[in-house]
Structure 1
Amino acid sequence: MVTINDVRAVASPLPRAYEVLVRDRVKFRVGRIVFVALSRDETEMGFAYPKEAREALIASDPGKFHLPVESDMRFHWVRVWLAEIERDELEELVVDAWRMVVPKKVWREYLGA
């Protein structure tokens, strides 16, 4: 199980990423684009994910992954229960979400680091 502190440890050091508090919810952004958001009770995390692949991800483990709320369905977004993932999976989800919102040049520099 991971916590908000684990999410911070992965997301905060990513180039151009920063944390904000919006309506009592912790979110991580690059510019104005949110790539990770935590629920108010910090039990679930929404993250950027390709729309065309989200049904397959959810089908792969419906006890872990679920669709966003109806108002967020238009976005590239999926949610996960934090109690159901381990640190290595969290890192993969957060870094992949961040990769979706940064310029390719930043991603390439990150890989070279």
Structure 2
Amino acid sequence: MVTVADVRALARTLPRSSEHLIRDRVKFRVGAIVYVAFSRDETTMGFGYPKEERDALVASDPELFFLPDAANLRFHWVCCHLDRLDHEQMAELVTEAWRMVVPKFLARQRLGN
């Protein structure tokens, strides 16, 4: 099971990433752009994800992934249940969400692609 502390440990290693508490919710962002956010009870995590690929992600494991509420469908965003997420998946999802919001040169420096 993944916790906020696990995500925090990874996010602290990502350049330009910062943690914020907004309306009792932990969020990680680069500048003003949020790339990971937790529910108030910290049981679910939302993360940046390409709109055109999110239906396929949800279909691949509907017990783990789900779409955000209707008000947030306009964003590049998907949600997941933390109790079903493993650490390897979390690392990939958080890192890719971060990659979406940083300059390409910075992502290349950090990730090598």
Q: TM-score range by the shorter chain?
A: over 0.9
Match of 2:63 in 1: 63
Please tell me whether residue 108 in structure 1 is matched to residue 99 in structure 2.
no
Q: Which runs of structure 1 show a deviation greater than 3 angstroms over 4 or more consecutive aligned residues?
A: none
Deviation per CA, 1:31-62, whole angstroms, max 9, x where unpaired?
A: 00000000000000000000000000000000
% identity of equivalent residues: 61
Match of 2:4 in 1: 4
Match of 1:39 in 2: 39
3-state SS in 2 of match to 1:46: strand
3-state SS in 1 of match to 2:68: coil
> 1:111: how far off?
2.2
- Paired residue type of 1:7: V
CA distance in 1, matches of 2:29, 2:76: 14
Match of 1:93 in 2: 93
- Paired residue type of 1:24: D
Match of 1:28 in 2: 28
User: How many residues are matched?
Assistant: 112
Match of 1:51 in 2: 51
TM-score, normalised via structure 2 length: 0.97
CA distance in 2, matches of 1:22, 1:111: 29
Q: Which runs of 5+ in 1 are unaligned?
A: none
